Amino acid sequence: MPDKTHLRAPIDPSRLRAMMGELSTFGGGPDGSMNRMSLTRTDGEARDWLGRWFAEHDFVQSIDAIGNQFGKAALAGANAPVIMVGSHIDSQPNGGRFDGALGVVAACEAVLAVAEKLKSENRLSACNFQVVNWTNEEGARFQPSLLGSSVFAGSAELDWALDRADGDGVTVRQALAEIGYAGSDKVPVPDALIELHIEGDKHLFEAGELFGVFTRYWGATKYRLAFLGRQAHTGPTPMAERKDALLAAAYLIGDLKEIAGEHGLDLHTSVGRLEVFPNSPNTVPSEAVLFIELRSGSPEVLAEAERKMKLRIEAAADKAGVTYEVRSIDRRKAGRFAPPLVALAEQVAADYGETARHLDTIGGHDAVAMSSVCPSIVMAVRSRDGVIHHPTEFTSPEDYTRATQILADMLYTIASEGLQAVDLKEAAT
């Protein structure tokens, strides 16, 4: 990367690294793990920390009705375009410290660096910037994932989202009130959204490359399916008379793996969560609830996988002698991120001698939900061994510093030249 005198909007690496360290104290364990589930007390403390950072740096905070947290840097006029930058700070249980969190911290540092650069030049920006921390991106505590961004984009109804409940019956509405983030601010849709994220795969790591751009996002079909049997004693109840809901779940889990194999690399399937009732060693389970995911970049493959799954559900229930019910279905379409933002990322990365490898994102991101309402992009910085959602998830300070500098210079380009200069004005209309 060029020396600091050639950077368009030089970031402060020590400030960036300090912020990453501070945010990691909220829910961080000694083994590198992160437990900062959405809208828990720990998440609330991290949000409070972010709000203090906003106040200290003259970012105006807003909280909307689903708890999305925004910090606006008014560097232009009140009617100027707005570029939103950020990600999320909620984590998986026993997850890692970089997924989502890096995107929020990098956004803070990048926008601050642009503001400092413009101030040193005694000039106004062509746009305003707004850092965002989206609510419940992970979908670990409340389902579905991308909940806050989906409400913001209008693809999910607010009251429906507020009524989502966790495993203990606590709703989003109750959790927001408990931590003080049941907001009422109205935040307009931005003119573009830019998100930096760890890759969460090993393409960049194995290629020895730092930076990539997600150009395509996979679709997903998510079922919450319950097999319903009959509770009985595991001792005296004859095997032939048992109606074991968990047995049906086991049949289906194996079948889902086979379905994935029938489509090669174009389909991912999983059951990431299983809830069993009454969950006692001496009792035949009467209920087994599966959280099923089908993911593909091809709408046709996704539809065919769902058709096959439905047949296997029937067969599993019949084989185990139980019934079943579908309790919810969530769908996310496949699509592509905004070409003008992809081009801008490529241009800035190339200025620093970095490639911008084109990638697919199989996992969901808030920018996927936002793609339906404004030009959006997710950019990737390599993660060691491609690890994500695990305590060993790691992106080196050197790597995330360089990626944040690319982000800052992208923002500075837009601030200096305006939306039209980077072909965003037409894309946003």
Proportion of the chain above pLDDT 70, given as a percent: 97
Structure confidence at residue 373 (pLDDT): 96
Question: Rounded to an integer, what distance in angstroms lies between the CA atom of residue 131 and that of residue 61?
Answer: 9
pLDDT band for position 424 (cuts 50, 70, 90)? confident
From CA 402, how far away is CA 379, in angstroms rounded?
Answer: 13
Kindly report, residue by residue over 70-123, the tens digit of the pLDDT: 999 999 988 999 999 999 999 999 999 999 999 999 999 999 999 999 999 999
Report whether 106 contacts 10 (CB < 8 A). Answer: no
Question: Residue 131 and residue 78: Cα distance in Å, rounded?
Answer: 17
Angle (CA) 413-419-424 rounded to 5° is 110
What is the Cα–Cα distance from 146 to 355, expressed in whole angstroms? Answer: 29
Average pLDDT over residues 205-227: 94
Q: Is residue 199 within 8 Å of residue 382, measured between CB atoms?
A: yes
Task: For residue range 120-167, list pLDDT tens digits in order.
Answer: 999 999 999 999 999 999 999 999 899 999 999 999 999 999 999 998
Whole-number Å distance between alpha carbons of 205 and 347:
21
> What pLDDT does 2 receive?
45
- Indicate the range of 191-195, 280-284, 329-333 predicted with least confidence: 329-333
Cα distance between residue 420 and residue 426, in whole Å: 7
SS3 annotation, 189-250 = CCCEEEEEEECCCCHHHHHCCCEEEEEEECEEEEEEEEEECECEECCCCCHHHCECHHHHHH
What's the pLDDT at 323? 98
